[in-house]
Chain A
Amino acid sequence: AQSVTQLGSHVSVSEGALVLLRCNYSSSVPPYLFWYVQYPNQGLQLLLKYTSAATLVKGINGFEAEFKKSETSFHLTKPSAHMSDAAEYFCAVSDGGATNKLIFGTGTLLAVQP
C-alpha cells in the first residue's frame, strides 16, 4: 500500500528565508508524486508533480522539489519565502495504475513571519 508522511504539521519561517517542507513516501511501484497548496476554504492548487522524468521538478511560484529514490523523499523547497506563501501544503502519491488514487499526507501549515 502507498502512504505519505509529512514531517512537521506546522512550519514557521521569516520572510525571505528558505522554505523546506518534508515529504517521505512509501510505494511498491514507481510513484507519481505531487505537492499541492491550499488556501483557507478553497480547493487544492497543484504546485508541481513528479512522473518519472527529471528528478528535480520546478513548479509554480518559485517552488521546486527533488525526487530521491534512495531516501524515498520528495521535499519541497523555495529559496526565499514571501508572505503570500502562507498556506497549507499537501504531499500526495499515486501509483498511476488502474485505480490512480491520490493518497495524501496530513499536511503542513506554513506561517511566514514579517
Chain B
Amino acid sequence: DGGITQSPKYLFRKEGQNVTLSCEQNLNHDAMYWYRQDPGQGLRLIYYSQIVNDFQKGDIAEGYSVSREKKESFPLTVTSAQKNPTAFYLCASSIGAGYTFGSGTRLTVV
C-alpha cells in the first residue's frame, strides 16, 4: 500500500548535536512538507518542497535544514542552532487537495 514512512519513531539528541529525521513516500506526490507540533500550538510549517531539488522555508525554518534530491525522500535535519528542538515532527505529502501524513517522529533533547 502507498503511504509515508517516517523514521525513527523516537529520537534522542544531545545538546549541540545534529540529527536527521527521515521521510519517504511511495505515493508519487510532488509536494512534501515538514511540520512541528508542540502542545497548544497546533502544527507549524518548517519547510516544504513542490518539486525535486527545490524547497522553501515555512514559518519556523530557523535551526532546520532539508534536501530534496529524490521525489520520494524529504529528510529534515535539526541542527544545533535549533535551541528548543524537543517536539513531535510530522511529514506530509500532497497532490491537489489530497494530503497524506506520516506517523511522526518524537524528538527529545537529553
Residues of A whose CB lies within 8 Å of any CB of B are 6, 9, 32, 34, 36, 41-46, 49, 51, 90, 94, 96, 98-107
Say if the beta carbon of B63 comes within 8 Å of chain A. Answer: no
From known contacts A41-B104, A42-B103, A94-B97, infer whether A99 and B42 are also in contact, taking CB-CB under 8 Å.
no
Contact B48 A90 (CB under 8 A): no
From residue A57, how far is it (CB to closest CB) to chain B in Å? Answer: 12
Selected A-B contacts with CB under 8 Å, 10 pairs? A6-B42, A41-B88, A41-B104, A43-B6, A44-B92, A44-B101, A45-B101, A99-B50, A102-B92, A106-B42
Contact A101 B90 (CB under 8 A): no
User: Which of chain B's residues 77-110 have a Cβ closer than 8 Å to chain A?
Assistant: 88, 90, 92, 94, 96-97, 99, 101-104, 106
Contact A43 B102 (CB under 8 A): yes
Among B40, B58, B104, point to the contact of A42 (Cβ < 8 A).
Answer: B104
Cβ of B101: which chain A residues have Cβ within 8 Å of it? 36, 43-45
Contact A32 B97 (CB under 8 A): yes
CA A105 to CA B35, docked complex, whole Å: 13
Contact A96 B42 (CB under 8 A): no
Please give the number of chain B residues whose Cβ is less than 8 angstroms from any Cβ of chain A in the complex.
26
Residues of B whose CB lies within 8 Å of any CB of A are 6, 31, 33, 35, 40-45, 48, 50, 56, 58, 88, 90, 92, 94, 96-97, 99, 101-104, 106
From known contacts A100-B31, A101-B48, A102-B33, infer whether A41 and B106 are also in contact, taking CB-CB under 8 Å.
yes
CA A90 to CA B31, docked complex, whole Å: 21
Contact B90 A43 (CB under 8 A): yes
From known contacts A101-B45, A101-B48, A101-B58, infer whether A43 and B97 are also in contact, taking CB-CB under 8 Å.
no
Cβ of A96: which chain B residues have Cβ within 8 Å of it? 96-97
From known contacts A43-B103, A90-B43, A105-B42, infer whether A99 and B56 are also in contact, taking CB-CB under 8 Å.
yes
